[in-house]
Amino acid sequence: MRHVRLGRTGLKVSPMCLGTLSFGLQSDVGAAQKIMGRAADAGIDFFDTADVYPALLAPEDEFADHVGRAEEIVGDWVSGRRDEYVIATKFRYRTGPGPNQQGAGRRHIMAAVEASLRRLRSDWIDLYQLHAPDPDTPIDETLSALDSLVRSGKVRYIGCSNFLAYQLAKALGRSEVLSLARFDSVQPRYNLLFREAERELLPLCAEDEVGVLAFNPLAGGLLTGRHDRGRAPDGDSRFALGQAASIYRIRYWRDAAFDAVAEIGALAGEAGLPPATLAVAWVMANPAVTAPVIGASRPEQLTDTLAAADVVLDDGLLSRLDRITRRFRWGDAVS
């Protein structure tokens, strides 16, 4: 694979990023290692994880047992060849029972980064990301703490995830005013069934040279065409696992989405592409997107998504996809 710049930085990353939410729960250690190997063989050297992976997929009473497991699996796999990979991880969500074991305050950030470094078996993190906005912490405090990590060398670059355009714009402005490290990337949810980022966030990122790492490019797997609205979701899917199940069902398990998936599948058939390949190629076709964050629970699931790296969608196909999914530019509240 070719390499691209992450936003305005000098950091080069593969145009696909491997997500690791499944590691340690949906994917046992052996499967996770095979997934990383398959991705690396295809040219992916950019991995994204988080301190709460795969705990977000676990039942509430098992949450604590899974905190940090994905980071450990990634750290073990890259050990001895750390320089070959760009590792991104995230902080913000609850990692313990205490009130300060979560959030974007200085105390939690300092504890969280040390824990992530230990689990990743690394002296540095290439991209350290705020997993979601924290309404209880002033953004100035968060940016100041992250800036100190960049200056110390423990973190190379900082980014954010799940930010709305106004939240990112405010953070960029505060970094400029205070002469602090700024968010050089953002992770929005972005796919054919959720295009809200196109309205304000992606134009902002293009204007201010912020890298875009689009997660959920397959809408939790719905865009693969494997799910049927007439039957319950498979037990190992995002629509059935732990605390995430209700979130994914609210996002995508509705008639409008299934209707669109059927039309998208028909277009994929005309184009001679698997639906997953078409869906990921569509995300990559947006010039504001640096890389989609692709995931898998089994190595073979990567076949169709990796194929998207070699697909260029023509204008006619892009226009037809736009007509089918344009309504999803207005978010989830589309019947």
Of 301, 284, 295, the C-alpha closest to 48 is 295
Per residue in 2-11, pLDDT (tens digit) is: 999 999 999 9
| Mean confidence (pLDDT) of the chain | 96
229: in domain: yes
pLDDT at 228: 87
The rounded distance, in Å, linking the Cα atoms of 325 and 321 is 6
Predicted confidence at residue 335, as pLDDT, reads: 46
Q: What pLDDT does 27 receive?
A: 96
Q: Where do we find the tokens 């709460």?
A: 52
Helices assigned H by DSSP within 153-271: 165-178, 201-208, 244-252, 255-271
pLDDT 10s digits, 200-217: 999 999 999 999 999 999
Asked if residue 335 belongs to a domain, the reply is no
List residues with catalytic annotation. 53
97, part of any domain: yes
Q: Which of 9-18, 160-169, 184-193, 322-331 has the lowest mean pLDDT?
A: 322-331
Does some domain include residue 143? yes
Percent of the chain with pLDDT over 90: 89
Task: Name the nearest CA neighbour of 49 among 30, 67, 63.
Answer: 67
User: Which residue segment(s) compose the domain that 126 sits in?
Assistant: 4-330
pLDDT confidence of residue 230: 81
State yes or no: pLDDT of 60 exceeds 60: yes
End-to-end Cα, the chain, rounded Å: 39
Angle made by CA atoms 26, 28, 34, in degrees to the nearest 5: 105
Q: pLDDT digits over 108-138, tens only? A: 999 999 999 999 999 999 999 999 999 999 9
Give me the helix-helix angle, 29-41 and 69-78, nearest 10°: 50
Q: What is the pLDDT of residue 332?
A: 65
Contacts of 11 (CB under 8 A, 6+ apart): 5, 86, 126, 127, 156, 157
CATH code (residue 28): 3.20.20.100
Is residue 148, in this structure, part of any structural domain at all? Answer: yes
* Residue 333 pLDDT: 52
Work out how many domains the chain is built from and give that number.
1
Q: Considering the domain boundaries, does residue 284 fall inside one?
A: yes
Q: Which value, to the nearest 10 degrees, does the dihedral of the CA atoms of residues 170, 215, 203, 162 take?
A: -20
More confident residue, 150 or 253: 150
Whether 334 shows a pLDDT value over 60: the answer reads: no
Q: Is residue 242, in this structure, part of any structural domain at all?
A: yes
Q: Please check whether residue 38 lies inside any domain of the structure.
A: yes
